[in-house]
Chain A
Amino acid sequence: MKIQVVQNVLRANDAIAEQNREQFNRLGLPVLNFISAPGSGKTALLERTLEHLKTRRCAVLVGDLATTRDAERLGRHCENVVQINTGKGCHLDAAQIEAGLKGIPVEQLDWLFIENVGNMVCPVEFDLGEHGKVALISTVEGEDKPVKYPTLFQKAAAVVLTKIDLAPLSGFDRERFYKELRQVNSDVQVIEVSSRTGEGFEIWLRWLEQFRATVKKA
């Protein structure tokens, strides 16, 4: 006997993601999902960003397989940080976000940042309810990452090119990076930063404000 089913396999995750998104929209709370390889500088970017956004009420949900190290670092700059340990899980999912939100005062926030597990593949597949994905790539991990991991760069609301201060030392081929990125996504804005020196942060913060303005209270 054959039974037609025709169901989205990830409907359970997607349903929770939609509920998360509806809650964020109700509150007019912008939510960004930061995705990159391990070591690209997600935590460092967020640390410096949180310092600059001291007058705003921010929260961070950070995912790692193990340890609370990232939450400890972020906790120095922001009082609303929740560490999610996935054990062996290679990505965050919507249910983990829903659970993580219980630890923070969502109604009072201006920003929610989600630092995903370091991984350029799996996190892209799982909707968390965010308003946009931010893809990070550093100048020391290879300028050909966009064509190697196109899905992330195709779906990103912004690409942050980190460790820009190390570009001259690493021989980063900027021209090749942009040429290949534009074969995957012609439209996405690239913001070049150094979280260490602060270079590029004016543009990054301006992008954040512009993005925030696109998230209207429902």
Chain B
Amino acid sequence: MGGRARTGGDDMHEMSIASAIAEQVLAVARQNHLLKVTQVRLLIGQLRLIVPEALLVAWDAVRGGSPAADARLEIIEVPAVARCKACRREYEPEWPVFLCPQCGQASVEIVSGEELILEEISGDQQELGTANPTSQSGLEQRPG
């Protein structure tokens, strides 16, 4: 993806999005007693109007000075799948065209491709001896 002129700063919506990510990452980090966040995994649907490079620039700007200051933003793209409202066929649209390969209509429900999900964060907990005795390394399920 590319081709958009970038000026940086808060005049692009990637900045609002990066700020929202930072807020949620830091809240989860606090809840889980993370001293440092090392990685943030994001799912972005193919149909979202977000330029990954611009988001990375914005992320760089918002994470500074926080426990996520060195956190790498990993972006995973979710493919677009549409369901034709006319014949119910599911297909991957050849963006920007949404024509159904079966019946030729462009009358869609989006099945996937519009996600913007903070999926997972990785980090280092408090040092041994001060850690919460119930916490262990590895996966911890959080309610969505």
Mark each residue of chain B from 116 to 138: 1 if its CB lies under 8 Å from any CB of chain A, else 0: 11111111110000000001011
B142 to A125, Cβ gap below 8 A?
A: no
| Complex Cα spacing A2 to B138, Å | 6
Asked if B1 CB lies within 8 Å of chain A CBs, one says no
Asked if A53 CB lies within 8 Å of chain B CBs, one says no
Interface size on A, residues (CB 8 A): 34
Asked if B65 CB lies within 8 Å of chain A CBs, one says no
A126 to B13, Cβ gap below 8 A?
A: yes
Known: A9-B20, A10-B17, A184-B106. A1 touches B123 (CB 8 A): yes
Asked if A77 CB lies within 8 Å of chain B CBs, one says no
B21 to A9, Cβ gap below 8 A?
A: yes
Contacts of B112 in A (CB 8 A): none
Mark each residue of chain A from 131 to 147: 1 if its CB lies under 8 Å from any CB of chain B, else 0: 00000000000000001
Closest to B105 in A: A186
Known: A7-B118, A9-B42, A183-B99. A2 touches B13 (CB 8 A): no
B10 to A3, Cβ gap below 8 A?
A: no
Contacts of A6 in B (CB 8 A): 117-120, 142, 144
Give chain B nearest CB distance to A143 CB in angstroms. Answer: 14
Contacts of A186 in B (CB 8 A): 86, 105-107
B140 to A187, Cβ gap below 8 A?
A: no
Chain A: interface secondary structure? mixed
Give chain A nearest CB distance to B118 CB in angstroms. Answer: 5
Which residues of A from 116 to 158 have beta carbons under 8 Å from B? 121-122, 124-126, 147-148, 150-151, 154
Asked if B49 CB lies within 8 Å of chain A CBs, one says yes
Contacts of B17 in A (CB 8 A): 9-10
Q: Which of A1, A147, A187 contacts B137 (CB 8 A)?
A: A1
From A84-92, A103-111, A208-216, the one touching the partner chain is A84-92
Q: Which one of B85, B97, B105 has the highest number of Cβ atoms from chain A below 10 Å of its Cβ?
A: B97
Known: A2-B120, A7-B117, A187-B107. A147 touches B142 (CB 8 A): no
A148 to B49, Cβ gap below 8 A?
A: no
Asked if A57 CB lies within 8 Å of chain B CBs, one says no
Mark each residue of chain B from 63 to 79: 1 if its CB lies under 8 Å from any CB of chain A, else 0: 00000000000000000
B98 to A185, Cβ gap below 8 A?
A: yes
B138 to A151, Cβ gap below 8 A?
A: no
List residues of chain B with CB under 8 Å of any chain A CB. Answer: 9-13, 16-17, 20-21, 23-24, 28, 32, 34, 42, 47-50, 85-86, 95-99, 105-108, 116-125, 135, 137-142, 144
Leading 6 A-B pairs by shortest Cβ distance: A150-B96, A88-B11, A122-B13, A6-B144, A186-B106, A183-B97
**Complex A-B: 12 CB contacts under 8 Å:** A1-B123, A3-B28, A3-B34, A4-B141, A5-B142, A5-B144, A6-B118, A89-B11, A150-B98, A183-B96, A184-B98, A185-B106
